[in-house]
Amino acid sequence: MTLAAPWRFAFALACLFALCGQSNGSPDPVLVPEVSQKEVQVRQGFTGTELLLFGAVIDPSGREKDFDVIVVLKGPTQSIRLREKRQIGGIWMNAESTAFRSAPSYFAVASSRPIDQIVDEKTAAIFEFGTEFIQLSPAGSIDPEEQARFRAGLVDLRERQGLYRTIEDGVQVREGVLYQARIGLPSNVQTGQYTAETFAVRDGRVLASAVAEVSVRKVGFERFVEVFADREPLFYGLVAIALSLFMGWLAGRLFNRS
Amino acid sequence: MDVYLPIANLSVNGLVIVALGALTGILSGLFGVGGGFLTTPLLIFYGIPPTVAAASAATQVTGASVSGVLAHNRRGGVDYRMGGVLVVGGIVGALIGAALFSFFQSIGQIDVVINILYVFMLGSIGALMMREALAALNIRQSKGLKRAAKRRHHPLVAALPYRWRFYRSGLYISPLAPLILGTGVGILTMLMGVGGGFMLVPAMLYILGMSGKVVVGTSLFNILFVTMASTMTHALTTKAVDLVLAALLLVGSVLGAQFGTRIALKLKPDWLRLALATIVLLVALRMLFGLSIQPDEVYSVINL
């Protein structure tokens, strides 16, 4: 229990600040987020799932209530190389390529109204409110025009794979206090730690934000296969061969008897 | 029936995969080809990542060919001596092929190399087989005569030294010929992610001049070992063998292979060849068409 002590301390400190904030009548609202599932289990028959992100925006001053809420759900980032096909001598083949050091494997933005009606472009770019503002960290120096083309290509590809999403009107706000957002995860999602960042916005300003985490992981047989393939490749290969030999032999036997 | 594939990282309709396996299995039993040249492109078309598709198809072809080899073995349709020489060549070829694969992968041109190889190999072999099959059918139908058994091997084969007797194949030729042939097919096998039967069968008939009775069984015997080596290579390097995917394909294909072997016994070999030639040519034309039009995905992602 020694490990837990710092956390208890941090929690106590956070409570203290929250209390101070309230008694001082600070104008900054507080966002309390919650996720329907802390853990998404990928097991046999997994065809994707829908995350319900909900919570409350508490304005201690209680003056205004017309908040907009934006939820950004991001999957683990990957270092990728993006290749572009071109027609060369009548044949479509890979020509130019570029590398991105931090492309999220999943990215979804849900908002209570279309983003451009909530914040200006500059703010949207700062907080990554939209697939066109994802921080991809391009590696190497290529000219901005080319970079924009590659970025658009990546976003378009992943949007069609269901991995990058923009859900306008994806957040419902009730009574100016409670919000809820539904964001779908397709079956081809990368496993790992997902972060859901929720923002309360008013008059084009981000007033409060809070982060909730969701872990997506394989369990049971699916987890076993993945780990086995990765840690014992030799045995895994032998099992695959043995399985195919056995099934082939079995079918031969069964058919011959009948 | 939704099935989640743990290595491919997505869920698929299990029945579609089993049906795909069955189709491949029937082809395998009928013609002695592994059917990988159809499975791999179809799996990719279905949305399975290309490496996983190629690796798991190799595993499936092993299963389809083992039941085929057993079935042909009972009829004395496997020349083990010839098969052994081919396998040795095939494994050498697979190693060379693996090196070429990683080279083309590093410069980002593996897709186009694979496609051009498919178009070229399938196109030329399909055309050759089509011509032979049509000629054979023509002779039989118009004159009602039995075609003279005029098997002969390529003059270059006769020029090679150290002759061995291959009794079941009815040949007295140098083992270097099947060794070189096996190596060549092994290289293409690794590059194209297929068993190589569709290349081996015509080569055995037209270059080596083997007896038609043992061609299919011996080809399957070679495929069996080459795909086992290929599965192992994938398990160790790309780690892309999906056991669930392979098992689904296997269920379909082992059953299909038995079925195919039975049909093969009832049909005339010339009609069989004509059918295979047609399928091969259609796949080649489809791929040639695919190279010249703008692909669905102009961009592709590789994890670093």
DSSP of B265-276, one letter per residue?
HHS-HHHHHHHH
* Contact: B291, A233; criterion CB under 8 Å: no
Distance from CA of A140 to the nearest CA of B (A): 15
Q: Which residues of chain A have pLDDT under 70?
A: 1-27, 62-65, 141, 256-258
| Closest chain A residue to the Cα of B116, Cα to Cα | A91
Q: Which residues of B102-140 are buried (b: 16+ CB within 10 A; e: fewer)?
A: eeeeeebbbbbbbbbebbebbbebbeebbebbeebbeee
- List CB contacts (< 8 A) between B3 and chain A: 44-45
Q: Which residues of B52-63 are buried (b: 16+ CB within 10 A; e: fewer)?
A: bbbbbbbbbbbb
Predicted local distance difference test score (pLDDT) of residue A193: 93
Instruction: Tell me the backbone φ, ψ of residue A218, rounded to 5 degrees.
Output: -80, 145
What pTM was computed for the model? 0.76
Name the band, by pLDDT with cuts 50, 70 and 90, for residue B34: low
Q: Does A226 touch chain B (CB under 8 A)?
A: yes
Cβ atoms B291, B119 nearer than 8 A:
yes
Q: Does B108 touch chain A (CB under 8 A)?
A: yes
Q: pLDDT digit string (tens) for B120-159?
A: 888 888 888 788 788 877 776 665 444 444 556 677 776 6
- Report the C-alpha gap between B184 and B287 in whole angstroms: 22
Nearest beta carbon to residue B299 from set A47, A78, A154 = A154
In a domain, A228, yes or no: no
| Closest chain A residue to the Cα of B114, Cα to Cα | A93
Nearest beta carbon to residue B291 from set A83, A92, A229 = A92
Predicted local distance difference test score (pLDDT) of residue A17: 46
Please, what is the average pLDDT of chain B?
Answer: 81
* Contact: A81, B255; criterion CB under 8 Å: no
B165 has pLDDT over 80 = no
* Contact: A93, B109; criterion CB under 8 Å: yes
Predicted local distance difference test score (pLDDT) of residue A37: 86
- List CB contacts (< 8 A) between A223 and chain B: 6
Share of chain B above pLDDT 90, in %: 5
Predicted local distance difference test score (pLDDT) of residue B141: 62
Nearest beta carbon to residue A245 from set B4, B6, B62 = B62
* Contact: B231, A237; criterion CB under 8 Å: yes
Q: How many CA atoms lie within 13 A of B276 on its CB side?
A: 33
| Domain ranges, ordered by start, for chain B | 2-292
Predicted local distance difference test score (pLDDT) of residue A3: 41
Chain A from 60 to 119: CB within 8 A of any B CB: 78-85, 87, 90-94, 97, 99, 103
Residue among B119, B181, B228 at smallest CA distance from A243: B228
B50 has pLDDT over 70 = yes
Mean pLDDT of B45-66: 83
> Token pair of A5, please?
């002590």
Integer Rg of chain B from CA: 19
- Report the C-alpha gap between A13 and A23 in whole angstroms: 15
In a domain, A56, yes or no: yes
* Contact: A248, B302; criterion CB under 8 Å: no
Residue with the bigger pLDDT between A114 and B234: it is A114
- List CB contacts (< 8 A) between B68 and chain A: 248
Question: How many inter-chain contacts (A to B, CB under 8 Å) are there?
Answer: 178
**Structural domains of chain A, count:** 1
In a domain, A203, yes or no: yes
How many other C-beta atoms can be found within 10 angstroms of the C-beta atom of residue A150? 22
Q: What is the CATH number of the domain that holds A64?
A: 2.60.40.3880
- List CB contacts (< 8 A) between A47 and chain B: 2, 4, 11
- Report the C-alpha gap between B174 and B184 in whole angstroms: 16
* Contact: A47, B11; criterion CB under 8 Å: yes
- List CB contacts (< 8 A) between A45 and chain B: 2-4, 11
In a domain, A16, yes or no: no
In a domain, A176, yes or no: yes
Predicted local distance difference test score (pLDDT) of residue B101: 82
Q: pLDDT digit string (tens) for B74-123?
A: 877 788 888 888 899 988 888 888 888 888 888 888 778 878 887 888 88
Residue A219: in which H helix or E strand, if any? none
Q: Does B239 touch chain A (CB under 8 A)?
A: yes
Q: Could you list the residue range(s) of the whole structural domain that residue A201 is in?
A: 26-217
Burial grade of A49 (CB within 10 A; 0-12, 13-18, 19 or more) = middle
Residue among B125, B108, B166 at smallest CA distance from B304: B108
Q: pLDDT digit string (tens) for A215-230?
A: 998 888 888 888 898 8
Nearest beta carbon to residue A225 from set B7, B64, B112 = B7
